[in-house]
A and B are shown apart, each in its own frame.
Chain A
Amino acid sequence: MGRGYIVEDVVEKYLSNLSVPGASCVTGLLIGQSSSQRDFVVLAVRTPQKDTEGQGSPSVSRGAGNSLEHLDVEWVTEHARQVSRMLPGGMSVIGVFLVTPPELSKEGQNTLRRLIFAVDKHISKGRLWSLTEEDVTEKVTLHICSKTRKVVCRTYDVRDPKSSAKPADWKYQSGVCTSWPLLTCSVGLNLVFPVLEMHVLPQDMEKCMKEGLQTWAKQIEDGLCLINGDAMPGEVELLGGQKKNAKAVQQTFRAQILIPMAEPQSERRLTASVKVCSGSLTLKGMVQCRAYLHSNKPRAKHATEVIKRDVINTVSSRVEMFLEDLLMEGEDKGSVGVQQVLPRRVFAPVPGMSLCVCDYMFPDECVSDVSDRLKEMLDWETPEDSIDTSQEAVPEAPTIDLKNTVVQKNLKAKSTLDARPKTPSEDPTEAHKSHKTYYAGVAMAAAIALLATGTSLIYLSD
């Protein structure tokens, strides 16, 4: 007996509305939750266009004709990675879909298999938390025939590279996620990562941060989680006590995470360890976290897991994005001693549902950029005033070292303005480095911002 996927009605609508001109194919992602008993799909998102030339398949280069061979798997997986960053805890990319003309159906199955393994691999890169035995590793592939609209649903166990397709049920339903409980918390960060003497900033920054974050992530994973102030045993049902046919309403739970102030006794050293460092990295601030549970008898254990994972993901995503951005902008020697603001999290509602997704805004961006990104990544329109930017406050103007002149920074900003393309870059690998290049740049605004802060400097003296 295979898995059963319960899918929101809107997904059916979306899939049927996908324009598939001619004999080309459309790929996309399926977003939802998997539990041990049942699986839920709430969103389907097509892979965005790679270039602006014409419509047609974004992932098959024009003129490729009827073959799936030219499918850009990397592009699909990168889209999946970007989308994953936009999903709060609990929700994830649990499958892929492919729309093909009837003659490519068979080949389509192989393609789907390739895609789902590649997507899962790419999404799991850089993940700071580990899967448990209870995590579902079956992902779904959906094939839709463009002519008959017939749907073939199969699952693969992505943990096993040799796994074969298993049939699965695909059932449409309305109001799948209306009563999905929501967990929220805000986590304070005050982390100092030493940069050991063999490392040099900024080249080794990624390595140092990754190591430091790994330790912190383990602390969070092992920490105790209180839900609405209660340390519930893992098997307790969160929604217990609700009448079976009661009006479906979304409950919100407050999570608190407690970590011990010292390592466990067995790991303690008897002497103080001294390391020589060539620098340090300090990560300070507050992150707003959200996670969704499904409505099929969720347990406290699952709840603590999803919110902790969201905490870890949001911090690691931001750091990743910051480092990618830094890499793109080139080495900036003057940033030492400057407090640089990491992208902050904003939330946007999913149209027609009580769920929300998130995005990260760099300091030099504005709400319209977020809106553009949502359109690009998730294929829906979001009115700007529905985007909630109030959850994380903007930090005060960072102190800048006068030694690094503003002029220098300005020039740099200018050069990136020129370099940044108005449309997604032709070269897929370049574009993958920062999702900011998916749309028109706002480097101009960045230059102005820097100038403004330049006039209110504070000296940093040793």
Chain B
Amino acid sequence: MTSYLYLYTHSPLIARKSGISVNGHIDYVSCVFTVPHVQKVISRTFEALGSQVKAESLVLSLSSSPVFLWPNKGGHATAGEISPNRPCKDLQQLIHFPVPHMYFIDCLSCLQGIINLTLMTEVTEPGVLSAPTLLRGSKKHHLLQTTLPMDCVVSVLSSESISVVCGTLVGALCSQLSDMEKVALRHMKGTALLIPQPFHFLLPAPVGLVTVVYPAGVPDSQLETRRKELHSLFELPDDRPYLRRANALHFPDEPYKDGYLRNPHVHLNHPALENGKPYLVQGVYSYHHYMQDRVDDNGWGCAYRSLQTICSWFQQQGYVERAVPSHKEIQQALVEVGDKQGSFLGSRQWIGSIEVAAVLDQLLGVTSKIMFVSQGSELASKGRELANHFLSEGTPIMIGGGVLAHTILGVAWSETTGQIRYLILDPHYTGAEDLQVITEKGWCGWKGPEFWDQNAYYNLCLPQRPKTI
């Protein structure tokens, strides 16, 4: 795996991701091997890994560049211009294909630069100097083989020297190894070993970026105790799932494999209103619209798509693990709750906010508030309510009128002048996932109050966050 070196403008971050292959020999005396015995061997194996990480043969390779660093030799590097005393931002200039900027959704600072590092070992750096020997062992034992997915994050200043940075990196690797050892020992299933996996989370200031190790294969629901411990450690409120796996930070060169666009609204310029400010959706959602997933719902599926966008939000914030429902699944859910007859299945019938709320409840266990306006013109006065929603819940809003459905991602509102703008995500778009087209043509864009049909009535579905970790 690759590692990342993040450089903030104020306090740069250095991260590293890599893997280490583990071979742990678990000896057993008789045919049954005991748990404490296995634990001892696991500890020994991690100890050996720790010494590998601290060895002089450890090499850090800068991706997309000819630079190699030997962190345990004082930060000695290959490329001539880099000496251990130079600031680490010099490393950025040697990268041929810089990773694109990353937008931290939850925080306002943007990362200046990202550098990837990979862990390697130099076989031509031998510690032992004598000719080879062969040792035969004949004890029966079990051999455990796995790869540990290491993924470290460290934050230092961009002006810090390379040698100091190297020392910090190695220290971070070692402490992650010890975290992994703790998790491995804590979550052993009898004598079976669950692979510890690290996840990064961006927590609200002053905590910042933390890395938590979870055992693979254990679902979030069974890790609540652990999350409670961490929430109190980091002094996090206990009604938001900050530390669920789905909320983990994604680095830029890990594209979302499903192909949907994430948060297209961050690429927009927000309107500047006198004494006004934008109140936006929090977190990550995917843009769902007409014609996606090979479903031709042009003309009837807009509310379904808005619902999918909302479901994607709950999935990506870690509240639910189920995937975004398809049109069929949405219709099925409505039949199940008795809202629709069986004939509804497979039809092209529109749905409204009430149905959206019902599906959210049925499939995701999410409750919603319904807001009703009898005329579109009334929406202009709903600035405070909408702003409060985005402040406290931060979920996307589905709005359905007599004719059309849309998703509201935010509101810009001035208390003094009463000016209002709505950030709209339009599910009627039928094109490809082209960010430029979507933002330039206004498929995701800020609209004024004239956007609404002034005479039509509208229902708004405001999904509420479940209070859970």
**A interface, CB within 8 angstroms of B:** 185-190, 192, 194, 197, 201-202, 205, 220, 223-224, 226, 229-231, 255-263, 265, 268-287, 315, 318-319, 322, 335-345, 392-396, 398, 462
Contacts and interface: CB of A to CB of B under 8 A. Distances in A.
A190 B23 CA distance: 12
B215 to A, nearest CB: 11
A268 B19 contact: yes
A393 B131 CA distance: 6
A343 B134 CA distance: 11
Contacts of B136: 201-202, 205, 279-282, 335-338, 340
Contacts of B142: 274-277
Contact of A284 (B132, B144, B217): B132
Nearest to A272: B146
Contacts of B192: 272, 274
Interface stretch (B115-123, B202-210, B240-248): B115-123
Nearest to A267: B147
30 contacts: A189-B123, A189-B132, A201-B138, A231-B66, A231-B68, A255-B124, A258-B122, A262-B18, A263-B21, A268-B147, A269-B146, A270-B216, A274-B142, A274-B145, A277-B140, A277-B143, A281-B134, A283-B132, A284-B132, A285-B131, A286-B128, A286-B132, A336-B138, A338-B135, A393-B130, A395-B130, A395-B131, A395-B133, A396-B130, A462-B139
A31 B121 CA distance: 35
B130 A260 contact: no
Contacts of B259: none
A265 B126 contact: no
Given A281-B136, A462-B139, A258 B131 contact: no
Contacts of B338: none
Nearest to A205: B136
Contact of B137 (A186, A220, A336, A343): A336
Contacts of B81: none
Given A188-B125, A258-B123, 18 more contacts: A188-B127, A223-B123, A224-B120, A260-B120, A262-B21, A270-B195, A271-B195, A271-B217, A272-B146, A274-B143, A277-B140, A281-B137, A282-B135, A287-B131, A336-B138, A344-B132, A345-B131, A393-B129
Contacts of B370: none
Interface string B321-345: 0000000000000000000000000
B1 A262 contact: yes
B124 A262 contact: no
B57 interface: yes
Given A201-B138, A273-B145, A340 B133 contact: yes
Given A275-B145, A279-B138, A256 B132 contact: no
B299 to A, nearest CB: 42
Given A262-B1, A335-B136, A340-B133, A275 B143 contact: yes
A458 B119 CA distance: 39
Contacts of A269: 146-147
Given A205-B136, A262-B19, A282-B134, A257 B147 contact: no
Given A229-B78, A344-B131, A337 B138 contact: yes
Contacts of B386: none
A315 B126 CA distance: 15
Most chain A CB within a 10 A radius of its CB, from B21, B78, B124, B138: B124
